[in-house]
Amino acid sequence: MKRNPTSMNPRQIELIETSFKAFVPVAYPTAELFYAKLFQISPHLREMFPKDMREQRVKLVETLTYAVNGLRHPEILLPVVRDLGKRHIGFKVRPEHYKLVGAALISAMEQGLGPKFTPEIKLAWQACIAFIASEMIAAAA
Ligand code: HEM
């Protein structure tokens, strides 16, 4: 059997797709919450980002949308994710930063989606973020 390169099972991909529909209307406030949480937990990361974060929030939501839409087409998604990982070398991002970003994103989604973010959906998103991060880190190594 062909290995699923996303390391997510079909049920998890389905959960991500359906929960993303609920996420779309709260995407921008959740993105704002995400950066607020990230800089609260890890203030040393703030200086890596531009002063004005508006564009960054748009890029984050666009990237999440692209990733969710690409989960069933890893052959298209993976080269994009790997290129993004390589570009992050230039932003001075190190492998250990990914855990901080992942935790802040999950926490923001938990708050943004409320009870719609069930434990099963949370696990699916954790697997999704871990997959993207591991591909970005490997490409940047
Ligand atoms: C889940 C993994 C991540 C995704 C999907 C992601 C996505 C993005 C995207 C789409 C951009 C826009 C620039 C471009 O496309 O080249 C960007 C820029 C950036 N990212 Fe990430 N990123 C991730 C992880 C991280 C981590 C762990 C850090 C560390 C703090 C980080 C810090 C930055 C910085 C500093 C910029 C440049 C901001 C600027 O000067 O405009 N990213 N990221």
Residue 4 confidence (pLDDT)? 65
pLDDT, greater one: 5 or 76:
76
Q: Which residue has the higher pLDDT, 139 or 8?
A: 139
Given a cut of 90, is residue 138 above it in pLDDT?
A: yes
How far, CA to CA in Å, does 36 sit from each of 30, 39, 46, 52, 130? 10, 5, 10, 13, 21
- Which of 34, 83, 84 is the best mutation target for the ligand 1 pocket, counting ligand atoms within 8 Å of the beta carbon and taking the most? 84
pLDDT, tens only, 33-77:
999 999 999 999 999 999 999 999 999 999 999 999 999 999 999
For the chain, give the mean pLDDT.
Answer: 94
The reported pLDDT for the residue numbered 1 is 46
Whether the predicted pLDDT of 84 surpasses 60: yes
Report the alpha-carbon distance of residue 23 to residue 9 in Å, rounded: 21
Give pLDDT tens digits for 91-134: 999 999 999 999 999 999 999 999 999 999 999 999 999 999 99
Q: Report whether 116 contacts 26 (CB < 8 A).
A: no
Spacing, Cα 78 to ligand 1 middle (Å) = 16
For each of the domains in the chain, give its residue range(s) and CATH number, in order of start: 11-140 (1.10.490.10)
pLDDT for the residue numbered 7: 78
Q: State in Å: Cα 45 to ligand 1 middle.
A: 11
* The predicted structure's pLDDT at residue 3: 55
DSSP string across 53-94? -HHHHHHHHHHHHHHHHHTT-HHHHHHHHHHHHHHHHHTT--
Distance 1 CA to ligand 1 centre (A): 34
pLDDT tens digits, 16-26: 999 999 999 99
In 3D space, the residue among 102, 105, 128, 122 whose CA is nearest the CA of residue 36 turns out to be: 105
